[in-house]
Structure formats: structure tokens, C-alpha cells
Structure 1
Amino acid sequence: MTLFGLSPERWWLSYLAAVLCMALGGFFTVVAVARGTGASLRHAVSKTTLALWGVFWITYIVLLGLALAQSHEVSQIHSMVQKRFGHPLSIEGLREYYQKEGAPDDGFWKHLQGIMGQLPSELFIGDSLVRWSSRGVPDRLTPDFLTAFEDYCADNSAPLQEAEKCFDAIPPMHELDLSGSLQFGPCRQFATLEMGRLCVFLHRQDKDEALCAYQRIAHCASHLQREPFLIGSLVWLNVENLRLNAVERLLESRLLTEEELRRIASDLTTLEKRISENHCQAMFTEAVFGQEALRDLETGKAPGSVLAFGDLRFFFPQFWLLAASDKAFILLQCLAKDFTQMEDPPPQSAYILSKSLLLVIKPSGNKFRELTARVLAMQALLRAEEYRREHGDFPEMLSDLPTDPFTGKPMQYRYGIAEISEYVLQDSASSPWEDIKMYEIGQEVRQAKAVQIWSIGLNGVDDGGVANSLLDKDDACATVRLE
């Protein structure tokens, strides 16, 4: 499609010509009025009109100059952001970034999605229904639940074994899916189920099967850490927390050899380094999506757009200036170290897009910090376990505690009676069926002997190592229960 022989990329020339025609039209109108009244050109228009007209054009020229200068600054910042990430801030750049992770295999993911769709999200304890798939199995396995879960695994052994085969190695990549709907759900569902399997294996003292389950969770996490999207990173954080839960259960079992303990310690060291990389990776994709959204608005490609707003910038330079300033602010935040270091837009600013975008992505940065804190705590917990193996008991105090990423101070350590937040089987407060009783898996805090290392979390309050959203407690903790 062309306009006066110009391609869409050069339509702005037609708008600039229209602005010049508008100015010339006004001038020739004054000339026509002067000729019609017999007055001189100087006296054809009142001084007030000339003054207002002059103010209009001076304002227009000033705003146009400011908008052009701001747009030039946007281009410079854009180049700086691209240099930081090493890829163009575009969908094409995202594809280039994504393809370095390996060849895609969409057939694998469709197969896995079909398998996971065959696995029910609930099980039965007698005639009572338990919705468990979103939380996993309880931290305390009752005989009734253990029997019901084993029956569930036996009844669904065929799809379950197929799913486990899919994660015996790190899964292949998939075609770049901007919605992320194809693989995130099955990955999270599988990791949650496999965590339950690991707990059951440890209950049977079957260390080999438990370690296989741990490795499959690790493979699931290794795939997700290659996902460039923020939503994929959040699912990855969830699966990594499941892996850390698995490490806690393995330590509680006291079945691990020295070699297996060293292997887990190596996994945690690798994970600690990977967190900052994934944080940067998520920032890159959000920068791409933010710039693509602005570009679509400017070019009229956004859903429901009937006009390319960018082509009107010479008619409305004041809006051009505001949009360019908004864009510059967003790009500047992409130069921050991570999401948590991004600045909030000034309260009185008109940065509409910046406010809406940063409101969504800034809180995500604390999720990465929480995982960092928990990994550091888990590494220290492994040192406490090494001390126990050498001296026969856990230390009363642990030296060289890791630095809490939320406070910059050493983390807390406890060996003794502690408050522990656990997921347990509870009667459901409501059931959609009158004749069927329901259980749910909810959080409960109890006192028990344990070894704990914890960060006080984002709220800055030491909650004694408890993480319970219902109680507004957010400590990031590594725990080994001793009873």
C-alpha cells in the first residue's frame, strides 16, 4: 500500500508536506483578505490575531525541536541497551537470542502435553476428593494420603512413565511461542508430581529412585532456565524452589553419600550463578516486548489500531515529546542491574506506558532475590550437614553465614526448636458437591526441632524462618526437620 507513491515507512513526508501546506494556506488566506478589503497585508489581520498566531507557531517550533531532540536521545539509549544485551531489541533479535539454545522439537512438546493431559489433578482418599496437583503432596505424609497417592500412581502408571522418560534428559527446545502456553504448564505440572514421587520414594527408603526423581526435576528446571520470557522465568523459579525442597527432603533422609552430597553442592553453585543470568535474560525480553508494543502503536500495527500515531507526530509535537520521553524512561530502566533497581516514574509525570509496564515487572525482581537467598541458605545448610557427619551433631553456631541479599547482613542460623511452615492435608472449607467431602493442601505452622538458615525477606522483618503468605511472613529459608 502506498500514499502518493510513498511506502508506509516514508508516509511521514506526506504529513510534513501537509503541515507546510497548512502554513502556506494560512498565509494566502491573509493575502486574500487583504485584497478583498483593500487593506495592506500588514493591516489585514489584527495585532491580537497575529500575536496568537505567532505564539502558536513559536510553541509549535519549540515543541517540535524538543521532540526531535528527545527522539535523538531515545536512539542513543536504544543503542546502549542493545549493546548491553548483545542483540537487537526486536522480535527478530529475540529469535536470534532464542535459537542459540538449540534446535526446536515441537513434536516432543505436543507429545508431553498430551501425556500430562491424561493425568488427573485430584485423587481420592476413600470417598473424599483431594485437589493436590497445584501444591504437590503434603510435607507430612499421612498413611491415608500415602496409600491414595500410591494408588493414583499405579492407576496412571502408563502416562506417568512416559512423562518421566521425557525428562530423563534435558528436553529439547520448542518453536518460539510468544504466548508461552505450550510448555510452561506441563513443566510445572510434571515437577510438582515428581516432587511427590520423590517424597514417597524417600518414605520407602528407596534412595536410588528418589535421586532419579530429583534429577528429572533438575532436567525440567534446566530446560526452563533457557526460556527467555519473564513468565517462563517465574515458572523456572517455581520449579527451582521445588528442587530445593527436594534437597531438604534428601538431607532429612540421611541416605546421601559424600559423593552425592558434593554433586548437589555443585548443582547449587551452578544455580547461584544462573539466577543473575536469567534475571538479565528476562529483562531483555521485557525490553523487546516493551519496544515492540510502542512500535506497534506508532506504526498502527497494534490490535484495534486504525491509525499510525507515529505518522501524526508533526501535527502534534507535544504528544510526540511525551511519547518519546516515556520511551526514553523505559529504555533507561533496561540499563539497570536488575528489575529491583529500576526506578519508579515521577508521580506527576505523564509516563503512562512506563507506569503500567514497571508496575507489572518490578515486583518480579524480588522473586529472583528470594531464590538467591534460599540457594545461599541451602549451601550453608550443606556445610552444617558436613559438620554433622564429621562431629556427630549439627553445630550450635555456624560461622561464615552467607550475606542476606535483602539486608546486606549475615543470615540467621538456628539449631533447636523452631517454627516450621508446612503444607498439610486439611478439611476444605467449601465443596462444590454436597455429597462429596473435599480435602485441600494448605499451610500450617508448627514447632519442631530443626536446623534452619534464613533470610528475613523483602518485608525486612525477621519472622523466624517462616514463609507463610497467609500470615504475611516471607522469610527465605532452608530447613532440615529433625522430628
Structure 2
Amino acid sequence: MRWNGWWEKLFFRDAPAQGAFYALTQLLLGSYLLFSLLIFLLGIGWVTFTMPAVWIAAGVVTVLFCYYLVMTLTFFRSQQSGFLRYLSWLYFVLWAGLLLWGYFRLSLPGIWATWLFAFFFTGVLPLFFCGRQWKPAFGSALAWCIGTLMLLPLLVYCVFYYPLSFSYNYDNSDGCLLSLVSIQFLVALSRFPGISGWGWSVWAAGGLLFLALWYWLTALFFVRLSGEKLRSLFGKGVIVWWSAGAAVFLLFTLLTWIAGGEVSRRTAELAKRFGRPMTAEALAECYFHGRKPDAAFWDRWKKSYDAVDPFKEEENYAFYYSEPNLMLTSAGRMKQWRNHLEEYSEALKAWEAQTVNPLPPRPRHYQTGKLIGICLPELNWIRQFNRLQLWRIYFALADGRIDEALAAERRMKRSNQYLQQDSISISLRVWIVCEKFRLSGIEMMLESGKLPESVLHRLSAELAEQEKAISPRLEQVLYCEAVQALDFCKFIQAGWYLIESDIRDTPPVVPGKLRCFVPQLWWYFRREMAELLRICNIPELHHAGTKQRYRSPGILASMIAPNYTVTRNLFLRLTARLRAVRGLIQAELYRRKHGDWPESLPDLPLDPFSGKPLLYRKGECLQKFNRIDSEPPHRILPEIHSIPAIQVWSVGPDGVDNGGFRPDGSHCDDVRALLRIQP
């Protein structure tokens, strides 16, 4: 008896209308509360956004839906007699089968299949069994269609378009096609009625009001069809669900306000830490330094870059990816390559003439929420220029023209100074790459043995000064990374992640304007912003640990948080390389004074990774050379050779001494400078 009583209460045997309406309320509010719980657990770090968590949440929603399905079909079954009692279940089977056939055979988009499946319960069943109560049935179906179709484009925009906007590999998937259709629909709305900004909040509120009207008309339809009182449908269970939903909404609204205060506090701490505002405008000041941008200069620079491209032919790719002194190729092939470079001689001289003076700033627009969209084509231009100057040094040394080699090294230094003064972190990374090219050129000149002693002292002093300039660059990277991370959050909030050219300047929807409807997501977003700002607030880049540490495994923070460990190692590797080249200069000065290479160098600079003096070796050293395949596609074939040389090296980020080079040629963290000597 006790079991039967519990069963009757669970499935509302005596009041099927109440059961159907309660199941509908439970499905709506239960899904909302489950969503809120999942976001909360994600925010505090108790769960991660992984498939198990998604499957568990989907499983709970499925149970709620199955209960709603049974209760709704049971209600319509109770209103009929005879054979008609089974029509509701029969129609459900036929409708579901039709949708499955359309999904698998006609490629019906999944989201539309889901919408049509829901329409069976909100429109088909009520209209089929309404009888004389067609007005509330038709009104509820119409309200549901209008409400969902108003909100569906916004939903598709947020769920599908955002992750796809960072990928340029668009295909014909449901999400991609629907997102593009939704975007065009939203753009049309923004252009025709003029909806923008907070207008989308009004639009979303209108959609929700239509859904509220559907909910009320559904209750009215159930009452009139069953003959029960309207008050009976809004029993304790329904009131409890709505009370819980309202309480959760208010709770997350309060949490959002608290998280906003934390974001403001952490932003102020960072501004105090760096002594300047955390804004795109302040970052622009770091770049221009009061200098006037020169668009005409960079137009000439681009024309020179386009005019000098000896690497574009397939057979010349290998000369782009290999350093000149590490290539193994025939004398005829090298002569052929040199003649090919000579074809660009006049254009290259015109390009080099533009580096007589420091490079002026290139015009840029630093706008809030759009820093990620700043184009930096000059990075590739300067990198290409450095590669060409490296070949200039190589051929000048081959001809014994040491002055031309030194002039090429000066041009590399002046062009790299532009990158060194940049305010964008990726520019500083390219600066490190180009400085490595310049150091390779210095190593080639040292290997020639033709540098005057005065030049050796000058180069050693300049490398020491260059090392001193690294510390301010580290601070600049910290500031730049923090501003860019904060600006990326504004980029998402403002909806600037749209990539269609026709709506690039005016995103159809600003996600931040919809925050009042989903405070859960807004709280999570602000909490991630606070975590991101916490990560960015480190005293010095040298304090970055071997692994990034997050308070919570947040999706946003883990995706865009600066990887200070990698950046730190890049700058320390450059420091180690600068010191190692100074060690080679020290060994060359010793040779000139004593007539032979030193067996040891006791006064070497400290290794920035180990804190001990750099390591030195004279004798056989391993080196990887690149042999160019003579047949297309002219592949680069690495070969390891043992050569007489001196080398100065650092143990690298892993702190393990691999002798500067591993015998098997595998990845080695050691940072070294090598100078080949005659046996």
C-alpha cells in the first residue's frame, strides 16, 4: 500500500493535469538549476569542463525530460476514451520516427530537429486534442514559436559562433551553417529595425515574455481541457521550483556584483604595479614614445620586401630555413644561389638604405577590445630582412670583405631595435629570433678571424649592453601581456570576435548587453577575469615557475592566460646566447694574445639558468648541418658531424648538461655558441 501511494503521488494518478504541468515546470526550472550548479562548480574549480561532467548533466536533463514526456502523454491519454486513448503515444512514435528519418536521411540540422521535437509537445499535441479549447491551444503554440524563434538566433550565435570564430577551417557542419544563418538574421535585424546595444536586451526580454505567455496559456489550456481549477496547477511543488529558480537568479546576481568588485580591485593593483593604466591607449604610448608614425616609410619598406623575395621559388626554400654556415651543398649549387641573390642586388641595396636611421613607428590603431586585431606585417618583413643580411655576411666573408660583413651586422641591429621598442609581446618574441640571426652573423665573423681587435672589444661591450636592455623588456612583456589579456576579455564582452568583413566594424550582438538574463555566465566570466588578472600580477618575469598555476581550471583563464614560463625561458635563452658569444670573443682575444685557443676560460659569465659560470670546451664538437637534396622537392637532410671547434654553452631551462648537443640529434635544451677552428 505504501508503495502504491508513493507511485500515485509521483505520477499524479488522480490529477493528470497537475502532473503534466508540474513535470513541465520541473523540466524548465530543473534544467535551469542544473545549469546554474554546473557553472558554479566550474567557477569554484570543483569540476572541469570535460565530457564526464557534460554527460552527467545531460543524463539528469534526460531523466527530467522522460518524466515530462510520460506525464504529458498520460494527461492527453486521460482526456480520451477507447482507441483514442492511445493516439497520443502513437503520434509521438510517428513524429519521433519522422524526425529521425529527416535527421539521418535528409541531413536535417540537429538544432532544428530538436526544435521540431519540442514543438510536438508544445504545438502538435495541444492542437490535435484541443477540441473546443482551440484558442488557448493555438495561443500557447503561437507564443512558443515566436518566443523560441526570437531567442534561437541569439542562442546559436553564443553557442556555435563563438568557438568557430577562432577557426578559419569552416566546413558544412550544422553548427557552422546555422551560425552563419543566425548571424545574417541578426545583422538584418540590426540594420532594418536598428536594433543595437541594449536593444538586444529588449529583444531578448520580448522573447522571454512570449515564453512566459506560452507557459501561462499552457496552464490555462490544461485547466479548461481537464475541468480543474487554475489554482490547483500552481501547487506547492510548482511554487518550490519557481522559488528555487528566483533564489538562484538573485544569488548569481549578487555573486556577479562581488566578482565585478574583485575585477576592479585587481585591475587597480596591476595599474599600481606597472605605474600606468591597463588600457589600450596606455599601451599605445609605450609603442610610440612620443614619436610620430611614418606611413610613407613603411609603404616603401613593404615595396622593398615585395621586390626582394629570393626564397619564393621551391628550390630555394632550403636557403630560407638554414643558416649559411650550416649548409652542405655543392659549390655549383651555392654559386647558383649566389647568382640568384645578385638578381635582387639593386632592390636589396635600396631596402638596406632605409636602415641608415632608426626605423620610425608604423601607424597602428590601439582600440579597446580590438588589440587582438592589430595587424603586424612588419614582423615578417624585418625577419626576412635579417635572413638576407645573414647571407650578406656569409658571402662578404667568403670574399674577404669584412667591412661589408660588419655593415650588414649594423643594419640587422638597427632593424631589430624597432622590434625591441615595440609594445606588443609577439614583436618582442620576433625580436629574440632576429637577435639570434645577428648573433649567428657575429659567430661567422669570429670564425673568419678577420675582425680587428677594436671591433672585438666593441662587440663585446655592445652585447653586454644588449643584455642590460633585456630586463626592461621583461617588464614591458609583463605589462603588455596583462593589458592584452584584459583587452581580450573586453573583446569577447563586446562581441568583436565576428570575422565577417561586412559586419566587422559593428558586431550584431554585444554579449555584455545580455548579462542580466544569464547572471551565471556573467559571474563565471568575471571570476575568470579576476583569475586572469591574478595570474598577470607577478613581481618579475623571473619569478614565473616551471608550470602555470591556476586557482581554478577555468576555460577562459587557461585559454588566454600568458604563459610566462615559456616567455621567461625565451628571454633567458637569449641572455645565455649573448653571454656565450661574449665567451667566444674572450677566447678569440686570448688566441690573439697567446697564439692558441685556451684550454679553459675561468672568467666566463654566469649561466642564467644554473647560476654557475658558463661551460667551455676546446676540441671535437658535434654539430648538425643541413644537406640540400639536389632533386625536387629539395628537402633538407640533417647530418651530424664531429668538427674541431670551441664552444661556450649553458645548461638551458631543464638544468641538465647535455654537452651543448646530443649525439643523436634529438631536442636539446642547452644554449651554445660555437666557433669552428682549423685543426
Q: 1:470 to 1:59 in 2, by over 3 A?
A: farther
| Counterpart residue identity of residue 239, structure 1 | C
After TM superposition, give the deviation of residue 399 of structure 1 in Å. Answer: 2.0
After TM superposition, give the deviation of residue 444 of structure 1 in Å. Answer: 3.2
- Partner residue of 1:114 out of 296, 303, 319: 303
How big is each residue's C-alpha offset from its partner over 1:76-105, in whole Å with a ceiling of 9 and x where there is no partner? Answer: 111222233344333322222222162221
After TM superposition, give the deviation of residue 148 of structure 1 in Å. Answer: 2.7
Question: Counterpart of 1:471 in 2: which secondary structure?
Answer: coil
After TM superposition, give the deviation of residue 346 of structure 1 in Å. Answer: 4.5
Aligned to 1:93: 282
After TM superposition, give the deviation of residue 251 of structure 1 in Å. Answer: 1.5
Taking the aligned partners of 1:214 and 1:50, their CA distance within structure 2 comes to: 79
The reply to whether residue 397 of structure 1 matches residue 600 of structure 2 is: yes
Question: Counterpart of 2:262 in 1: which secondary structure?
Answer: helix
- Partner residue of 2:418 out of 219, 223, 241: 223
Question: Counterpart of 2:320 in 1: which secondary structure?
Answer: coil
Aligned to 2:16: none
Question: Counterpart of 1:480 in 2: which secondary structure?
Answer: strand
Question: Counterpart of 1:466 in 2: which secondary structure?
Answer: coil
After TM superposition, give the deviation of residue 208 of structure 1 in Å. Answer: 1.1
After TM superposition, give the deviation of residue 215 of structure 1 in Å. Answer: 0.6
Q: 1:60 to 1:288 in 2, by over 3 A?
A: same
Greater mean alpha carbon deviation, residues 290-299 or residues 440-449 = 440-449
The reply to whether residue 335 of structure 1 matches residue 537 of structure 2 is: yes
Aligned to 2:442: 247
| Counterpart residue identity of residue 384, structure 1 | A
Q: 1:38 to 1:301 in 2, by over 3 A?
A: closer
- Partner residue of 1:290 out of 464, 475, 485: 485
- Paired residues of 2:446 and 2:675 also in contact (CA < 8 A): yes
Q: Following superposition of structure 1 onto structure 2, how do residues 39-78 of structure 1 map, counting pairs within 5 Å?
A: 46-78=235-267
Question: Counterpart of 1:172 in 2: which secondary structure?
Answer: coil
Percentage identity across paired residues of the two chains: 28
- Partner residue of 1:319 out of 510, 521, 526: 521
Question: Counterpart of 2:451 in 1: which secondary structure?
Answer: coil
| Counterpart residue identity of residue 358, structure 2 | I
Q: 1:240 to 1:468 in 2, by over 3 A?
A: farther
- Paired residues of 2:651 and 2:660 also in contact (CA < 8 A): yes
After TM superposition, give the deviation of residue 406 of structure 1 in Å. Answer: 3.1
Q: 1:134 to 1:121 in 2, by over 3 A?
A: farther
Aligned to 1:383: 586
Q: 1:442 to 1:264 in 2, by over 3 A?
A: farther
After TM superposition, give the deviation of residue 476 of structure 1 in Å. Answer: 0.9
Q: 1:129 to 1:193 in 2, by over 3 A?
A: closer
Aligned to 1:300: 495
Aligned to 1:212: 407
Question: Counterpart of 2:643 in 1: which secondary structure?
Answer: strand
Q: 1:471 to 1:147 in 2, by over 3 A?
A: same
Aligned to 2:632: 431
Q: 1:329 to 1:402 in 2, by over 3 A?
A: farther
TM-score using structure 2 length: 0.60
- Partner residue of 1:139 out of 313, 326, 338: 326
TM-score using structure 1 length: 0.81
Taking the aligned partners of 2:230 and 2:562, their CA distance within structure 1 comes to: 63
After TM superposition, give the deviation of residue 360 of structure 1 in Å. Answer: 6.7
Where structure 2 has 5 or more consecutive residues not aligned to the other structure, the ranges are 1-189, 191-195, 216-222, 366-372, 500-506
Aligned to 1:435: none
- Partner residue of 1:256 out of 451, 454, 463: 451
After TM superposition, give the deviation of residue 212 of structure 1 in Å. Answer: 0.7
Question: Aligned residue pairs: how many?
Answer: 460
Taking the aligned partners of 2:513 and 2:446, their CA distance within structure 1 comes to: 63
- Paired residues of 1:467 and 1:477 also in contact (CA < 8 A): no
Q: 1:469 to 1:270 in 2, by over 3 A?
A: farther
Aligned to 1:310: 512
Aligned to 1:479: 674
Which structure's residues are more often strand, by fraction? 1
| Counterpart residue identity of residue 526, structure 2 | A
Q: Following superposition of structure 1 onto structure 2, how do residues 181-196 of structure 1 map, counting pairs within 5 Å?
A: 181-196=376-391
- Paired residues of 1:123 and 1:148 also in contact (CA < 8 A): no
Runs of 4+ in 1 over 6 A off after TM superposition: 9-16, 36-39, 467-470
Q: Which has the higher contact order (CA 8 A, sep 6+)?
A: 1
Greater mean alpha carbon deviation, residues 404-413 or residues 246-255 = 404-413
Aligned to 1:344: 548
Taking the aligned partners of 1:146 and 1:463, their CA distance within structure 2 comes to: 33
Q: 1:15 to 1:180 in 2, by over 3 A?
A: closer
How big is each residue's C-alpha offset from its partner over 1:273-327, in whole Å with a ceiling of 9 and x where there is no partner? Answer: 2223333323433333322221132233432654333233333222222111111
How big is each residue's C-alpha offset from its partner over 1:219-271, in whole Å with a ceiling of 9 and x where there is no partner? Answer: 11112212222222222111100111112112212222232112111221222
Taking the aligned partners of 1:391 and 1:115, their CA distance within structure 2 comes to: 47
After TM superposition, give the deviation of residue 442 of structure 1 in Å. Answer: 5.4
After TM superposition, give the deviation of residue 331 of structure 1 in Å. Answer: 1.3
- Paired residues of 1:406 and 1:460 also in contact (CA < 8 A): yes
- Paired residues of 1:452 and 1:479 also in contact (CA < 8 A): yes
After TM superposition, give the deviation of residue 362 of structure 1 in Å. Answer: 5.2
Taking the aligned partners of 1:38 and 1:286, their CA distance within structure 2 comes to: 59
- Paired residues of 1:413 and 1:454 also in contact (CA < 8 A): yes
Aligned to 2:346: 158
Taking the aligned partners of 2:495 and 2:452, their CA distance within structure 1 comes to: 62
How big is each residue's C-alpha offset from its partner over 1:105-150, in whole Å with a ceiling of 9 and x where there is no partner? Answer: 12122212212222243499xx976641343424357633543344
- Partner residue of 1:168 out of 312, 331, 356: 356
After TM superposition, give the deviation of residue 192 of structure 1 in Å. Answer: 0.6
Q: RMSD between aligned alpha carbons?
A: 4.0
| Counterpart residue identity of residue 374, structure 1 | R
Taking the aligned partners of 1:253 and 1:133, their CA distance within structure 2 comes to: 22
Q: 1:101 to 1:250 in 2, by over 3 A?
A: farther
Taking the aligned partners of 2:326 and 2:415, their CA distance within structure 1 comes to: 21
Taking the aligned partners of 1:469 and 1:227, their CA distance within structure 2 comes to: 39
After TM superposition, give the deviation of residue 345 of structure 1 in Å. Answer: 5.4
- Paired residues of 2:315 and 2:632 also in contact (CA < 8 A): no
Q: 1:296 to 1:186 in 2, by over 3 A?
A: closer
After TM superposition, give the deviation of residue 165 of structure 1 in Å. Answer: 0.8
Taking the aligned partners of 2:202 and 2:586, their CA distance within structure 1 comes to: 68
The reply to whether residue 353 of structure 1 matches residue 556 of structure 2 is: yes
- Partner residue of 1:273 out of 468, 472, 494: 468
| Counterpart residue identity of residue 431, structure 1 | P
After TM superposition, give the deviation of residue 402 of structure 1 in Å. Answer: 3.3
After TM superposition, give the deviation of residue 44 of structure 1 in Å. Answer: 10
Aligned to 2:617: 414
Where structure 1 has 5 or more consecutive residues not aligned to the other structure, the ranges are 2-6, 27-32, 433-437
Q: 1:220 to 1:301 in 2, by over 3 A?
A: closer
How big is each residue's C-alpha offset from its partner over 1:416-454, in whole Å with a ceiling of 9 and x where there is no partner? Answer: 211123x434216x725xxxxx3x555432112211111
Aligned to 2:91: none
